[in-house]
Structure 1
Amino acid sequence: MAASIESLFVEIASLEEPIEELQTLKTAVLSIPVSALRDTVSGLRLEVIFSLLNTNDREKIELCVDILGRILLALSPVHLAQNCRVELQAGLKHPDDTVKILALTQIGRMVLNHEAVTEIQNNQDILREVIHCIKGEKMTVAKEAVRALAKLSHSKAGLDALFRSDLLKDLKDVMATSDIVRYRVYELIVDISSVSPVSLGYCANSSFISQLLGELTGDDVLVRATAIEMVTTLSHSQHGRQYLAQQGIMDKISNMITGAKSDPFSSFYLPGLVKFFGNLAIMDSPQHVCETYPAFQNKVFEMAIDPDPVMTGVALDTLGVLGSTVEGKQVLQKTGEKFNAVLKRMSQLASGGATELRVRCLEAISLLITLQAEQQTEDLLVLTESWFHLLSNQPMEMIRNISIQPFPELHCSALRIFTAIAPQPWGQRLMIGTPGFMEFIVDRSTGPTKEAKDAKFELVGALVSSSTAADILGSQHYLRLRSYLREGAYYVTAVATVTTEGAE
């Protein structure tokens, strides 16, 4: 096969329209494992294929991109930096987006290699072209450029190349192209800043971070909404949160939540503000966040009963996130009747309305009432049981009725609520005390989809693994559950068919 590939290269170089030969070459390189292809192609004149990219023939370009994509993957980043840098740089200017993406992907490999990256850093022209790809019309090209530059910034030398050279001016010039491109650059800056305190320092010293934070209070509500998403991503790292706190951003966003009441356009950015604090609560501490920024918690409760499904959905997701931790459960419980009213509203939403909102509601409820074995203190068991009973006078029947409706996503979400209460003794007592419920659990005819079978299997597993299940459910039911678990999620009972000769 090696001889075949080499001969195809020679043949292609001598032809003006080598379409058939390119198709044959594509088949040849794709048929060989990448590891085996490396020795075969390392000595080939790749400029033969690169030169064929200078055409408007779409078929030829696609064939060349497929061939080069495979061959370049087989070559080391150092080999590419030393032998293909000029061709890849030309690819960044190519009018066809697939060629640009091919070049950007390979440059992304090169900048992660400590030897190859030196070749790239010493050639600012190629990095300048990568930066200019951020303003490309196609989002796929821009994202690949952002990805390559983010990888470059994983080293101090890469940070110096991007932020302490003439390339910084290029980055700022590209940023001024449009709102869309500006936010692509912000995405890059946030990616880089999230790596380490050092990389955050580079971005802050270059004024990018302060410019992003200034967007939070800009006049354009859509720009403001996008800025909040970026700042939320920045808060995912501990050093990012520390920086935002030092800049007073938490207080600023809390004040924005308070001021949203008087802004008729707040619906555009308010969900993002709430998501910011919801993320902060999980990363930091639910109690600290809710006590320090009470406007956040109050707004979540308001949004939960808001008739706008967008607001309600964000509130449900946030409540689920808050209530997924023991500390979050305790914070919500402290609000007393406020949260009880929200739970009753959640019950109404779960029982009727748009399917997507019902699913989000059921998922939030399951997170709120979940307790791991080590979390099952007497106080917490009383808390989750009381929340479950606030859903309905007959919560077991309510959830089971949802689970038998002909919507797979509702069925699975309802089963997850039963899975949440399954390890808890009070949940097991409810199950054994509900007529027909144990039969419902082991009935394999309910929920024919794979997702439904998996959800049922998870429920059975939660019961079997509980230390109290055998005593509360009784040995007969417990043994049936163990049998179900042993047979697996997709077990099908064989049915014998009897045929009578001559029967019609």
Structure 2
Amino acid sequence: MAASIEHLLCALSGAGDHLEELRTLQTAVLALPLGALRERGPELRLDGVFSIMNGGDREQVSLCVTILERILQALDPVHIARNYKEELQRGLHHPEDPVRLLAISQVGRIVESSEAMTEILNNLDLLRQMIVCIGGDKIAVAKEAMTSLSRIGRSSPGLQLLFGSNLLSELRAVMAVSDVVRYRVYELVLEIASVSAESLSFCANCAILPQLLEELTGDDVLVRVACVEMVTSLSGTLHGRQYLAQQGVIDKISNLIVGADADPLSGLYLPGLVKFFGNLALVDSPQQICEHYPAFLKKVFDMATGQEPTMIGVAVDTLGVLASNIEGKQILQKAGSRFIEVFRRIGHHARSSPTELRVRCLDAIASIMFLLPDDHTDDLLAMAESWFRSLSTQPIETFRSMAAQPFPELHCGSLKVFTAIANQPWAQRMMIDSPGFVEYIVDRSVDPDKDSKDAKFELVKALIGAKTTAEVFGNQHYLRLRAYHREGPYYVRAVSTVAVEGAE
């Protein structure tokens, strides 16, 4: 088959209509296993296919793309970089989107290989055309170009090329195409800046990153929304957070939160501001963030007790993130009655709001209530119990009732809450004091689907893994839980049948 492919490739030389030859070649190439193509691929001459693709009609171009996708997939990126750089560069200029996608995807393969990438770093025309692709109408082509340029920017030579040569002026030129394209360049720069302190320094010195930070506090609300979301990605790294702090960006975002009450359009960007600080608290120190920027936690509490569903959802998610560690829980404990009011409100939404918000509330409650065994001090256990009791007059029955509703996401969310508190002695006592609770746990018939069965199994696993379960539940109930765990989440008890004389 490989020999016939070589023969078909040779038949593509010269002018004329090659539609039938391309159809036959496509069939042969797709029929040949990739392993066989890898063995003979470097010997195949693809000049004719590239030539027809650059000048043929749409049907022939489509066939050429399919053929090249298959063959190039089997070739080593180093081989492609050394033998088809010019063809790929021409492909980036092609008017047809599939051809540009083919070319840019192969460039993406090349830059994934450090050895192959060196073959194209000196080809400024190719890199320049990749930058131009960022400004194209086809989002798939633009995304592939951004991904490849981001990989190039992960090396010191690549940084020098992108931000220390004429390519920087190309980046600036493509930014002027439209607001959408400018955001694409910002996204590219932020991806590169997040890699290391060195890459951040290049991005800052080229003035593109400072330009983004200026737009953060501009008059255009929609631009502000986009910029806050982008800057949040940079805050996920230590060097990024240090840079944002040095540039006063965190203070600016805090001031935007403070001034949000006086801005009728704040609802558009406020969720992004809160998510920014929530992300900071997650990767940094909840105590430091909440103490240095008190407007953040105050606004989260206000949003959680407000009437706007979107704001409530963001606030609930943020509190779940904030309280995912002990330091965050202690911050909420310091808020005293204000947090109890907020938590009670979350409990209300978990019971009676639309399903999507109810699920988010259940996830947040589980995160807030969970304690590691090492954190089982008297103070923290008492704190957790007081929080749980504030959710409802009979919280165990409340969550059992939600778990019984015919909505899998609510069923699993309620079980997740039980799992979060399962290792805490006070919670175990509340469970065993609730009539029929153990029977509910070991009853597989009430779990309607796989996710529900898995969630129930996690609860059982948490209970038998806790040190106090055997003492609190008693030996009989404890053995039933162990049997459930041993049998697994999908166990079905065999039912024997008895034949009756005379029955059909």
Instruction: Give the TM-score, by structure 1 length.
Output: 0.96
Q: Does the Cα contact within 8 Å between 1:111 and 1:152 map onto a contact in 2?
A: yes
Match of 1:302 in 2: 302
Correspondent of 1:32 among 34, 41, 66: 34
SS at match of 2:491: coil
Q: Mapping of 1:282-301 within 5 angstroms?
A: 282-301=282-301
* Residue equivalent to 1:17: 19
Deviation at 1:13, TM superposition (A): 5.1
Superposed CA offset, 1:189-213 (max 9, x none) = 0000000000000000000111000
Query: Paired residue for 2:422?
Result: 422
1:432-447 equivalences under 5 Å are 432-447=432-447
**Counterpart Cα distance in 1 of 2:483 and 2:260:** 56
Measured at CA, do residues 128 and 453 of structure 1 come closer, stay the same or move farther in structure 2, by a change above 3 Å?
Answer: same
Instruction: Give the direction of change, closer, same or farther, for the CA distance of 1:354–1:61 in structure 2 (3 Å limit).
Output: farther
State how far apart, in whole Å, the 1-side matches of 2:243 and 2:439 are.
Answer: 56
Preserved CA contact (<8 Å) 2:5 2:25: no
AA aligned opposite 2:352: G
| Residue of structure 1 equivalent to 2:276 | 276
Equivalent position amino acid for 1:69 in 2: E
Contact 2:26/2:66 (<8 A) preserved = no
| Pairwise CA distance, 1:91 | 1.4
CA distance in 2, matches of 1:100, 1:149: 15
The one-character-per-residue Cα deviations of 1:268-292 (angstroms, maximum 9, x if unpaired) are 1000000000000111100010010
Q: Distance in 1 between matches of 2:496 and 2:98?
A: 57
Q: C-alpha deviations, 1:436-477, integer Å up to 9, x for none?
A: 111111111122211111111111111111121112112222
SS at the partner of 1:45?
coil
In the TM superposition, what is the alpha-carbon distance from 1:499 to its structure 2 partner? 5.4
Long gaps (5+) in structure 2: none
TM-score normalised by structure 2 residue count: 0.96
Question: Quick one: structure 1 residues 376 and 96, their matched pair in 2 at CA, closer, same or farther if it must change by over 3 Å?
Answer: farther
CA, structure 1 residues 4+385, in 2 after alignment: closer, same or farther (shift >3 Å)?
farther
The offset of 1:417, in angstroms, is: 0.2
Q: Report the Cα offset of residue 141 of structure 1.
A: 1.3
Which residue in 2 is equivalent to 1:153?
153
User: What is the Cα deviation at residue 313 of structure 1?
Assistant: 0.4
Query: Is contact 1:22–1:64 with CA below 8 Å preserved after alignment?
Result: no
- Following TM superposition, by how much is the alpha carbon of 1:119 offset from its aligned partner in structure 2, in angstroms? 2.5
Q: Residue type matched to 2:134 in 1?
A: I
1:13-32 Cα offsets, whole Å, 9 max, x none, are: 58711353133124224x33
Partner AA of 1:409 in structure 2: E
CA contact (8 A) 1:41 1:71 kept: yes
Q: Which residue of 1 aligns with 2:214?
A: 214
Separation in 1, partners of 2:63, 2:442: 55
Alignment of 1:60-459 (within 5 A): 60-459=60-459
User: Is the CA contact 1:12–1:21 (under 8 Å) kept in the aligned structure 2?
Assistant: no
Aligned amino acid, residue 104 of structure 1: I
Cα separation, 2, equivalents of 1:362 and 1:63: 53
Instruction: Give the distance between the partners of 1:480 and 1:65, measured in 2 at CA.
Output: 62
- Unaligned runs of 5+ residues in structure 1 are none
Letter in 1 for 2:273: L
Q: Contact 2:23/2:63 (CA < 8 Å) preserved in 1?
A: no
Please tell me whether residue 465 in structure 1 is matched to residue 468 in structure 2. no
Deviation at 1:318, TM superposition (A): 0.2
Distance in 2 between residues matched to 1:465 and 1:13, nearest whole Å:
72
**What is the letter of the counterpart of residue 200 of structure 1?**
L
* C-alpha distance in structure 2 between counterparts of 1:3 and 1:441, whole Å: 66
In 1: Cα distance, 2:501 partner to 2:141 partner: 70
Match for 2:34: what amino acid? I
CA apart distance, 1:264: 0.5
Cα deviation for residue 501 of structure 1 reads: 6.3
Are residues 279 and 214 of structure 1, via their aligned partners in 2, closer, same or farther at CA, if it must alter by over 3 Å? same
Partner amino acid, structure 2, of 1:16: H
Query: Cα distance 1:346–1:63, how it changes in 2: closer, same or farther (>3 A)?
Result: same
Letter in 1 for 2:24: E
Change (3 A) 1:246 1:23: same
> Are the structure 2 counterparts of residues 108 and 23 from structure 1 closer, same or farther at C-alpha, using a change threshold of 3 Å?
closer
Distance apart, 1:150 and its partner CA = 0.3
User: 1:443/1:63 Cα in 2 relative to 1: closer, same or farther (>3 Å)?
Assistant: farther
Taking the aligned partners of 2:430 and 2:68, their CA distance within structure 1 comes to 63
User: Residue 187 of structure 2 contacts residue 230 of structure 2 at CA under 8 Å; is this kept in 1?
Assistant: yes
Q: Counterpart amino acid of 2:456?
A: K
- What secondary structure does 2:273 align onto? helix
1:382 to partner: Cα distance? 1.0
In the TM superposition, residue 267 of structure 1 has moved relative to its aligned partner by: 0.5
TM superposition shift of 1:97: 2.2
Q: Counterpart amino acid of 1:24? A: T
Q: CA deviation at 1:117?
A: 2.2
The Cα of 1:500 is off from its aligned counterpart by: 4.5
| Residue-by-residue CA offset, 1:325-351 (whole Å, 9 max, x unaligned) | 100000000010110000110111000
SS in 2 for 1:445: helix
The amino acid across from 2:181 in the alignment is V
What's the offset of the Cα at 1:41? 0.7
User: Matches of 1:287 and 1:362 in 2, distance apart?
Assistant: 24
**Aligned sequence identity (%):** 58
Shifted more, 289-298 versus 8-17: the winner is 8-17
Instruction: In structure 2, give the amino acid aligned to 1:86.
Output: E
1:12 CA displacement: 5.2
Q: Could you say if the C-alpha distance between residues 25 and 60 of structure 1 is closer, same or farther in structure 2, counting changes exceeding 3 Å?
A: farther
- Give the match's secondary structure for 1:273: helix
Contact 1:343–1:390 at 8 Å: present in 2 too? yes
Q: What do the CA deviations read for 1:155-209 (whole angstroms, capped 9, x no partner)? A: 1110111111111101000011111000000000000000000000000000011
The CA distance in 2 between the partners of 1:427 and 1:4, in whole Å, is 73
Measured in 1, the distance between the counterparts of 2:499 and 2:173 equals: 81
Cα distance in 1, alignment partners of residues 501 and 99 from structure 2:
69
Segment of structure 1 superposing worse, 46-55 or 173-182: 46-55
In structure 2, what is the Cα distance between the partners aligned to 1:287 and 1:127?
Answer: 45
How many pairs are equivalent?
501
Tell me how far apart the structure 2 counterparts of residues 171 and 191 of structure 1 sit (CA, whole Å).
15
Task: Give CA deviations for 1:14-56 in whole Å, capped at 9, x if unaligned.
Answer: 8711353133124224x334xx532211110122322332467
Q: Counterpart of 1:275 in structure 2: which amino acid?
A: K
* Residues 52-84 of structure 1: CA deviation (Å, up to 9, x unaligned): 324675554444333322322322222111101
Give the Cα–Cα distance (whole angstroms) in 2 for the partners of residues 133 and 227 of structure 1.
22
Indicate conservation of the 8 Å contact 1:12/1:22, yes or no: no
